Amino acid sequence: MNELEQNRLPIQDLPLWTKMRQKRALMAFDIELTARCSNNCRHCYINLPADDTSAEAREITRSEIDEISDEAVSLGALWCLLTGGEPLLRDDFPDIYLDLKRKGLLVSVFTNATLISEDHVELFKRYPPRDIEITVYGVTRSTYEEITRRPGSFDAFQRGVRLLKESGIKPRFKAMALRRNIGEMREISEFCRLETADFFRFDPFLHLRFDGNVHRNQEIRAERLTPAEVVRLEMSDDERSSALIRSCDKLIPPADLILATDKVFKCGVGEGSFVLGWDGHFRLCSALHHPECVYDLRSGSLQDAWWNFVPEVKNMRSDSTPYHENCSSCRLINLCYWCPAHAHLETGRLDEQIADFCDLAKARFSAIQE
């Protein structure tokens, strides 16, 4: 597929079942309020400096968010996630948050907690979010700030968590597994499980940069764990390993159930949710940044993006023989990091195989078998 010869079909020529799927209801959407962040984490795929005035000037405005979220609600949306970057960097965060709440949406917030103030806590107490998720990079100052590269960020994180706890707001905690904190993951896990509102999850997959920054991508790759390290970490966690084993029949289907198709997107992307990017772009999922899979809402409408653009993207086709012989027909695809969005970030193509991802899937399969 040369720079993706997608062979898109006009909407009127889509098969009947595809047209029927267009009647799906929108359920949820994410809003990246900003790409700027108070931290400078080594592994981050999006962050720009907090004082980047050029990025700030391009951020989607409160009025634009109000208009787009009205459209989303009219399409059936019930849930909304506010994320970033660090969403609390926005001075108008409280206004945007309340705008969304007044529409009847269940609003969640992803934050690093370093900017949480007493005013934020009062806001969340009076108008409770559906949930607040906080990422924990380390439970010691040295590990935490080795990752965030911001002196004082560990104390700010602790203060934010303390303010929430003292007010009776219990957030959900999660973690990223990096080379810089792998030696502290057991302690991070214990801290998160003790403090979290419900469940704890950790993620060993580090996305490459959405902006393609070469230097930052080198830093991200340097923080990635090897497939053997990922599997060792997962198998050492009783909750994670038992979930993998319990789900193995669903994760690894029989070969005769593998659907032979030239479709690029076989996942549920764009089925009930979308992402509103910090710069006003509509995406089917957070990681999907291929230029032909992005829609500018500043020059279009959510209705057009949802009913017309999404089916076009979902109908992309690949004529790549390696894709059909490998990723498209692989039984272990659910044990892998591979998806078209990740393939594009890694290789520039939506249908490219990634050797390290294959190695991880095989290592997980062997561990489950054992």
C-beta of residue 126 within 8 angstroms of C-beta of residue 149: no
pLDDT value for 2: 36
281 exposed, middle or buried (CB, 10 Å; 0-12, 13-18, 19+)?
middle
pLDDT in tens, 288-313: 999 999 999 999 999 999 999 999 99
pLDDT in tens, 304-359: 999 999 999 999 999 999 888 888 888 888 889 999 999 999 999 999 999 999 99
Residue 176: enclosing H or E segment and its boundaries? strand 172-176
C-beta of residue 97 within 8 angstroms of C-beta of residue 108: no
Strand order in the sheet with 79-83: 201-203, 172-176, 131-136, 106-111, 79-83, 28-32, 273-276, 281-283, 294-296
Could you tell me the two tokens for 263?
């479709």
Could you tell me the two tokens for 330?
């692989």
Q: In which band, very low, low, confident or very high, does the pLDDT at 23 lie, cut at 50, 70 and 90?
A: low
Least confident interval from 147-156, 166-175, 317-326: 317-326
pLDDT in tens, 231-272: 999 999 988 888 888 887 777 877 766 776 789 998 889 999
Dihedral angle at the C-alpha atoms of 94, 99, 103, 104, nearest 10 degrees?
Answer: 10
pLDDT value for 29: 98
Phi/psi at 334 (5° precision): -75, -10
Query: Cis link prior to 183 (omega < 30° from 0)?
Result: no
C-beta of residue 332 within 8 angstroms of C-beta of residue 253: no
| Average pLDDT for the chain | 91
Complete domains list, the chain, with CATH:
14-111+204-254+265-317 (3.20.20)
Stretch 84-97: mean pLDDT? 98
